[in-house]
């Protein structure tokens, strides 16, 4: 009998050898088989990791900007060289297709590249002679050990939204990745070591609520960057801030794509397919509600439906277009929404439950609902699966009101050929990230990523200059140096009479 692999924590630059009390199963969602058991950290293990990070902070914070940049450049090279290996690890535990997994690593790398410019990003301001002989300058300093708690759907990219910048700013890190797909984080930890990052600067503890609570209440942790579902984001924000920590907690989403009657319907249909079914809809920027402004709804539905026939659902490592959902529990939950939509009276144009893939994988085919109305659960709630809903409205104002009245505000898109209409939408819509003829408007690394309303708790978005701000504290120094002519040790300057 072969023994199932155990994935344990990474503390102080090595695999942790401490006693493992609890574990959780990790699956290959394409086969439904258990591929490993991951250790779940208890309070003592979290404490050990935070203490190691505290010790490492004392020296890492004093490492020069040149040294930090060299490590970041080396890490960038290693991630680039190992991109396909990281993608394979992601596909094996998350299920998304390899090209998608590789794209995820690319987006994470962009943040590493942004962080390579840290000497420029950390430059402060200087005002000379604010009063006679008095100068004022500002500097930004690291916080200390920081925690990152990440979701299953981007096991490499989401942690990489935060840790390159945190480390570049001089902080040390305890990452708690999702227990559903922990291997990518472990491999990134090895790459950091190979890049020359001192032991203890980057640590990984695996776990569930127990480890998250231990991080949220640990006095050594100075900030928490969380990404996950809205109820947990709210809990993390409230608990972390109550314990005196700086917290940014990014939550769930229900992203709308508004299609105006003048839009290019072929472009809009292609966009709906990619943004609705890419990564099996398990993206916080996935489009899940399409608001079709009449009279184009039927034409749009027909175009989307005809394209759906060519989506091949299957093992993400074997050339399919759409992989499985992450777990059986999640697959069944998404399938239950299809049942709920039917019961509520929405028109089921395409039923993903009919798609059969050989084996025990957690598959569900792409699903399309038409005539969805705002009170239906398939519209109100985040499904996080390959289920697209079409809502029909008669005017732009009705479309805007729908988007703005939804409690989530992560991303949105408008499809139109009218620049004035697009400009009005970008101004009026209450959502953090807006696409104009772009369905998934994920900001580049040098801008910041974050939603509004129930999609973000805290006021700082991820990466970009907001990331640098989040991982540093400002200090302003007012200094007076008397001119040598005022006396003191005679340095040879002419003295005041």
Active site residue 169: no
Of 11-19, 96-104, 147-155, 436-444, the window that binds ligand NAD (rule: CB under 6 A) is: 147-155
Q: Which of 284, 355, 357, 390 is catalytic?
A: 284
149 touches ligand NAD by CB under 6 A = yes
**304: nearest Cα among 387, 383, 401, 373:** 387
- Select 41 or 78, whichever has its Cβ closest to ligand NAD: 41
Residue tagged 């991820």 (tokens):
462
Q: Within 13 Å of residue 164, how many CA atoms lie on the same side as its CB?
A: 35
Is 362 a residue that touches ligand NAD (CB under 6 A)? Answer: no
Q: How far apart are CA 158 and CA 414, in angstroms?
A: 25
- What minimum distance in Å lies between the beta carbon of 286 and ligand NAD? 8
Q: Residue 382 CB, nearest distance to ligand NAD (Å)?
A: 5
Nearer to ligand NAD, 72 or 325 (CB): 325
DSSP 155: T
The CA distance from 282 to 287, in Å, is 10
Contact range with ligand NAD by CB under 6 A, out of 150-158, 167-175, 189-197, 419-427:
150-158
Tell me which residue of 14, 20, 112, 28 sits closest to 315, measured CA to CA: 28
Pairing between strand 10-11 and 14-15? Answer: antiparallel
Stretch of residues binding ligand NAD (CB under 6 A), selected from 64-72, 173-181, 291-299, 413-421: 173-181
Of these, 40, 195, 212, 403, which contacts ligand NAD (CB under 6 A)? 212
Helix (H, G, I), strand (E, B) or coil at 235: helix
Q: Which of residues 299-318 bind ligand NAD (CB under 6 A)?
A: none
Near ligand NAD in 368-387, by CB under 6 A:
382, 384
Q: What is the b/e burial string over 373-388, where b = at least 16 CB atoms within 10 angstroms of the residue's CB?
A: eeebebbeebbbbbbb
Residue 390: count of CB within 10 angstroms of its CB = 24
Among positions 150, 183, 203, 248, the unique one binding ligand NAD when judged by CB under 6 A: 150
Q: Nearest Cα to 465, choosing from 123, 10, 153?
A: 123
252 binds ligand NAD (CB under 6 A): yes
CB of 448 to ligand NAD, least distance (A): 11
> In 263-304, which ranges are E strands?
287-293
Binding-site member from 248, 454, 455, 472 for ligand NAD (CB under 6 A): 455
Range 68-127, binding ligand NAD (CB under 6 A)? none
| Phi–psi pair at 262, nearest 5 degrees | -90, 5
Q: Whose Cβ is closer to ligand NAD: residue 313's or residue 410's?
A: 410
Closest separation in Å from C-beta 450 to ligand NAD: 7
Nearer to ligand NAD, 60 or 163 (CB): 163
Q: Could you tell me the two tokens for 271?
A: 């966009």
For ligand NAD, the nearest residue by Cβ is 228
Q: Does 275 participate in binding ligand NAD (rule CB under 6 A)?
A: no
237 touches ligand NAD (CB under 6 A): no
Q: How far is the CB of 443 from ligand NAD (least distance, A)?
A: 11
Listed in sequence order, the residues at least 6 apart from 329 whose beta carbon sits closer than 8 Å to its beta carbon are: none
φ and ψ at 146, to 5 degrees? -120, 155
Please identify which residue in 410, 416, 454, 472 interacts with ligand NAD, judged by CB under 6 A: 410
Q: Which residues pair with 146 in a beta bridge?
A: 173, 223
Distance CA 379, CA 383 (A): 9
- Could you give the dihedral angle defined by the CA atoms of residues 183, 184, 185 and 186, in that order, rounded to the nearest 10 degrees? 50
Query: Which is nearer to ligand NAD, 170 or 252 (by Cβ)?
Result: 252
Residues that bind ligand NAD (CB under 6 A): 149-154, 158, 176, 178-179, 208-209, 212, 227-229, 232, 250-253, 284, 382, 384, 410, 451, 455
Q: Which residues are catalytic?
A: 284
């Amino acid at each position: 009998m072969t023994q199932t692999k155990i994935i344990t924590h990474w503390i102080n630059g090595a695999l942790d050898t401490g006693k493992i009390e609890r574990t959780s199963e990790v699956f290959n969602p394409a086969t439904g088989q258990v591929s490993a058991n991951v250790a779940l950290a208890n309070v003592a293990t979290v404490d050990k990791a935070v203490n190691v990070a505290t010790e490492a902070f004392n020296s890492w914070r004093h490492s020069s900007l040149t040294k930090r940049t060299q490590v970041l450049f080396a890490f960038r090279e290693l991630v680039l060289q190992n991109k396909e290996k990281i993608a394979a690890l992601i596909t094996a535990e998350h299920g998304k297709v390899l090209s998608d997994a590789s794209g995820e690593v690319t987006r994470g790398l962009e943040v590493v590249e942004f962080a390579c410019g840290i000497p420029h990003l950390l430059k402060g301001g200087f005002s000379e002679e604010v009063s006679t002989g008095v100068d004022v300058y500002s500097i930004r300093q690291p916080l200390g050990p920081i925690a990152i708690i990440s979701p299953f759907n981007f096991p490499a990219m989401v942690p990489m939204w935060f840790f390159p910048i945190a480390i570049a700013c001089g902080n040390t890190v305890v990452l708690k990745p999702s227990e559903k797909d922990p291997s990518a984080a472990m491999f990134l930890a090895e790459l950091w070591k190979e890049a020359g990052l001192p032991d203890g600067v980057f640590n990984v503890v695996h776990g569930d609520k127990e480890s998250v609570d231990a991080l949220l209440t640990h006095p050594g942790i100075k900030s928490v960057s969380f990404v996950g579902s809205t109820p947990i984001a709210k809990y993390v924000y409230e608990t972390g801030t109550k314990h005196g920590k700086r917290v940014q907690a990014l939550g769930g989403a229900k992203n709308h794509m508004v299609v105006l009657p003048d839009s290019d319907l072929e472009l809009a249909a292609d966009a709906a397919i990619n943004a609705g079914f890419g990564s099996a809809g398990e993206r916080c920027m996935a489009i899940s509600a399409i608001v079709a402004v009449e009279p184009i709804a039927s034409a749009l539905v027909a175009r989307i439906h005809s394209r759906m026939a060519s989506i091949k659902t299957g093992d993400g490592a074997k050339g399919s277009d759409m992989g499985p959902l992450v777990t059986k529990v999640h697959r069944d939950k998404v399938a239950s929404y299809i049942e709920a939509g039917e019961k509520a009276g929405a028109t089921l144009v395409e039923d993903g439950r009919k798609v059969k893939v050989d084996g025990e994988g957690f598959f569900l085919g792409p699903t399309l609902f038409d005539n969805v109305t705002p009170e239906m659960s398939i519209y109100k709630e985040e499904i996080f699966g390959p289920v697209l809903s079409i809502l029909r409205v008669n005017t732009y104002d009705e479309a805007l009101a729908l988007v703005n009245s939804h409690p989530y505000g992560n991303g949105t898109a408008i499809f139109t050929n009218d620049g004035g209409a697009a400009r009005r939408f970008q101004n009026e819509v209450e959502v953090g990230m807006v696409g104009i003829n772009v369905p998934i408007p994920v900001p580049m690394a040098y801008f910041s990523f974050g939603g509004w309303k129930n999609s973000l708790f805290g006021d700082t978005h991820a990466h970009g200059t907001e990331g640098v701000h989040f991982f540093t504290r400002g200090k302003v120094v007012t200094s007076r140096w008397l001119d040598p002519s005022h006396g003191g040790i005679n340095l040879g300057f002419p003295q005041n009479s």
